[in-house]
Amino acid sequence: MPIKICHLITSLDTGGAERSLVNLVTAMNRDEFANEVVTLLKPGPMAQTLAQAGIPVTSMEIGRHRPSPAALLSLIRHLRTRRPAILQTWLYHADFFGSVAALFAKPDHLLWNIRSSQIGHPSIRRSTRCLARVLALMSKRPDAIVVNSQDGQRYHQQIGYRPKQWVNIANGVDLKRFRPRPSERAMLRTRLGIPADTTVIGLVARDHPMKDIPTFLRAASRFQQDRANANFVLCGDGLISENTALTELVRTLDLDRRTILLGPRPDIELVYPALDMLTLCSIADEGFSNVLCEAMACDVPCVATDVGDSATIIGDCGLIIRQRDHEALTGAWHRLVRQPSQHSSPRSQIAARYSMQRMSAQYEAFYRSIVQKSTKTRDCH
């Protein structure tokens, strides 16, 4: 019989943790593991991907900011009915609700999954920071806590997390989806409205203070003064022309004719190959960046601030800079333009360390060991 695993997550909106969960459950061996996904809120757009892959998705439909005892009872009933061997929770709210539900539904194993780091920044909701502190007091409850970054583990240890076991499994990238497309490069640029002979620098993020998009734009304004053929592509939730605060900053910095706001793109694998380099400007809560891995899998070098495990991911395939320093960012762009050949192949590094196959194999081995350990314990008694 396959090992039954219930993955509990806040929602399936577009985000790094959500994407990692979808990648994992669609890649795992279905002869050995039977996965289902339960969301606390309404599912979100990534639920469709799971449905197409034949992965069951159930929603508790808790109102945002309005926790409901009835929804918690529904979750308990669902777990009692499905009787998973493993309840794997993702992100703080699911860690909390899953732990409470597990007291009554009693799955064989409870595992938490932490995806963030350095959440003390003021841009992170106070309620989220408080919840993380409450979870620190509960952190001996799960059988283990999975983290996707060394930086995330260090931070949570500092705020009091003391689990029975830490398990570090980095995110994985679909190397078939994210790949270089040299023969399509000109066509992809034309589709995006980018001239073929320009230097194109991209940023893929959502519009949030911790992503520090103003620093990217200030660096872009400085960079264009020295490189007349530079263009800048911003892609992600909220990065659209209807965002008046963003467009006003673009206009103020005289970037109107150089900046393309793409908004969220389901075909992001066709955006990365059109870039000459990608930038991550985050100042907080960036444990392990999917964006860096995806761009590098397309053989795009990266410049990133020193947050989370960014330096480990990039290695010698790009540059790491200080946070909130647009002059350092401009300088890093100039260095990559002048000396691109001095850096290793980004795709080779990702293929060796962060493939989706590697990630799913590590999760499978971990889940297998958890179940086998409890089986041996029962046999001894």
Q: Are residues 233 and 319 in the same domain?
A: yes
**pLDDT above 90: percentage of residues in the chain:** 80
Reduced to 3 states, what is the DSSP secondary structure of residue 231? Answer: strand
Q: Is residue 177 part of a domain?
A: no
Overall average pLDDT of the 98-115 stretch: 96
Q: Are residues 159 and 277 in the same domain?
A: no
Q: Are residues 145 and 11 in the same domain?
A: yes
Q: Are residues 344 and 373 in the same domain?
A: no
Checking if the pLDDT of 376 tops 70, the result is no
User: In this predicted model, which residue has the larger pLDDT, 283 or 242?
Assistant: 242
- Domain count within the chain: 2
Q: Are residues 208 and 286 in the same domain?
A: yes
**pLDDT value at residue 343:** 58
Q: Are residues 285 and 203 in the same domain?
A: yes
70-105 confidence digits (pLDDT tens): 889 999 999 999 999 999 999 999 999 999 999 999
In which band, very low, low, confident or very high, does the pLDDT at 135 lie, cut at 50, 70 and 90?
very high
> Lowest-confidence range among 102-106, 318-322, 370-374?
370-374
Overall average pLDDT of the 264-271 stretch: 93
User: In this predicted model, which residue has the larger pLDDT, 286 or 183?
Assistant: 183
Looking up residue 277, the CATH number of its domain turns out to be 3.40.50.2000
**pLDDT value at residue 123:** 67
Q: Are residues 75 and 167 in the same domain?
A: yes
Q: Is residue 261 part of a domain?
A: yes
**Which pair of tokens denotes residue 94?**
């699911």
Overall average pLDDT of the 327-334 stretch: 97
Q: How far is the CA of 364 from the CAs of 57, 155, 294, 355, 375, in angstroms? A: 20, 26, 22, 14, 16
Q: Is residue 146 part of a domain?
A: yes
Checking if the pLDDT of 381 tops 60, the result is no
The H-or-E segment that residue 101 falls in is helix 92-105
Of 8, 147, 160, whose CA–CA distance to 72 is shortest?
8
Rounded CA gap, 109 and 107, in Å?
5
Q: What are the start-end ranges of the E strands in the chain?
A: 3-9, 33-39, 57-59, 86-90, 109-114, 144-147, 166-168, 199-204, 230-235, 259-263, 277-280, 302-305, 318-321
Rounded CA gap, 177 and 167, in Å?
27
Q: Using alpha carbons only, what angle is made at residue 300 by residues 315 and 256, rounded to the nearest 5 degrees?
A: 120
Q: Are residues 189 and 323 in the same domain?
A: yes
Q: Are residues 148 and 200 in the same domain?
A: no
- HSE at residue 319, side-chain half, CA atoms within 13 A, is 19
The β-bridge partners of 59 are: 39
**pLDDT value at residue 85:** 97
Q: Are residues 341 and 373 in the same domain?
A: no
**pLDDT value at residue 16:** 83
Q: What is the pTM of this model?
A: 0.88
**pLDDT value at residue 65:** 62
Q: Is residue 309 part of a domain?
A: yes
**Which pair of tokens denotes residue 268?**
């992001």
Checking if the pLDDT of 150 tops 80, the result is yes
Rounded CA gap, 137 and 155, in Å?
15
Q: Are residues 14 and 43 in the same domain?
A: yes
Neighbours of 380 (CB within 10 A): 6
Q: Is residue 58 part of a domain?
A: yes
Overall average pLDDT of the 276-302 stretch: 93
Pair 299, 312: CB distance under 8 Å: no
Q: Are residues 288 and 200 in the same domain?
A: yes
Q: Is residue 141 part of a domain?
A: yes
DSSP codes joined into one string, 246-315: HHHHHHHTT-TTTEEEEE--TTGGGTGGG-SEEEE---S--SS-HHHHHHHHTT--EEEES-TTHHHHHT
**pLDDT value at residue 339:** 79
Q: Is residue 363 part of a domain?
A: yes
Q: Using alpha carbons only, what angle is made at residue 349 by residues 352 and 28, rounded to the nearest 5 degrees?
A: 40
Reduced to 3 states, what is the DSSP secondary structure of residue 180? Answer: coil
Domain that holds residue 293: 182-351
147 φ/ψ angles, rounded to the nearest 5 degrees: -125, 155
**pLDDT above 70: percentage of residues in the chain:** 95
Q: Is residue 37 part of a domain?
A: yes
**Which pair of tokens denotes residue 302?**
């990266």
Mean pLDDT of the chain: 92
